[in-house]
Chain A
Amino acid sequence: DTEVTQTPKHLVMGMTNKKSLKCEQHMGHRAMYWYKQKAKKPPELMFVYSYEKLSINESVPSRFSPECPNSSLLNLHLHALQPEDSALYLCASSQGTSMANTGELFFGEGSRLTVL
């Protein structure tokens, strides 16, 4: 079983809805990530939090709003999404904030989002 837990596993929302994706890890990792993955495509980095501070925003539209309430939790708030935002949203964590030291990312199983 993955040690990064994402909820919900599936989400269907309309373009006017507000919803949130949640991610939790209890491995003491200091960096957490949101990736977006379209079907048959590789994951694309959206955001990185290092020590609970936003360190990377890959020019993601403001309708996606990340939040890191504490070192174990990562949220992605969704508002006024478009159908093309439908995708698998993957959360990941790493022990450190540099791949030189951290070795690997631990991924959750993802939240599959459908925007109608």
Chain B
Amino acid sequence: AQKVTQAQTEISVVEKEDVTLDCVYETRDTTYYLFWYKQPPSGELVFLIRRNSFDEQNEISGRYSWNFQKSTSSFNFTITASQVVDSAVYFCALTVGGGNKLTFGTGTQLKVEL
């Protein structure tokens, strides 16, 4: 069975601070895909990134960066110079093999204040 753990339930930061959201996953499959989604108050989940198990390269997209480390089964997400618009719930998710079922973590509520 697969499992995704997001130990941080809620994080509060002041605007312009950097913040890292942790994600630890468990799976016995060698082929898997990791995702991050953002859920603003409006409700829809917004796709941020997908990473497959064979690609450990870190990725940067604007103020967002992701650190994938298979050795520690972690896929952490960092927001640099946070902004109020970053306030949302962030979910890490996992799927294995060729399936289309996502296993979500419990989410981290990020609050960015002025």
Q: Taking beta carbons and an 8 Å cutoff, which residues of A are in contact with B? A: 2, 4, 31, 33, 40-43, 45, 48, 50, 56, 88, 90, 92, 94, 97-100, 102-110, 112
Contacts and interface: CB of A to CB of B under 8 A. Distances in A.
**Secondary structure of the B contact surface, majority rule:** loop
Interface of B: 31, 33, 35, 37, 42-47, 50, 52, 91, 95, 97-102, 104-107
Nearest to B40: A109
A103 B95 CA distance: 11
Contact of B104 (A43, A88, A94, A102): A43
Contacts, number: 65
Given A42-B91, A104-B50, A99 B102 contact: yes
A112 B37 CA distance: 20
A42 B101 contact: no
23 contacts: A2-B44, A4-B44, A41-B106, A41-B107, A43-B45, A48-B100, A50-B100, A90-B44, A92-B45, A97-B100, A99-B33, A99-B50, A99-B99, A99-B100, A99-B102, A100-B31, A100-B97, A102-B100, A103-B50, A104-B35, A107-B44, A107-B45, A108-B44
B106 A42 contact: yes
A90 B45 contact: yes
Contacts of A110: 43-44
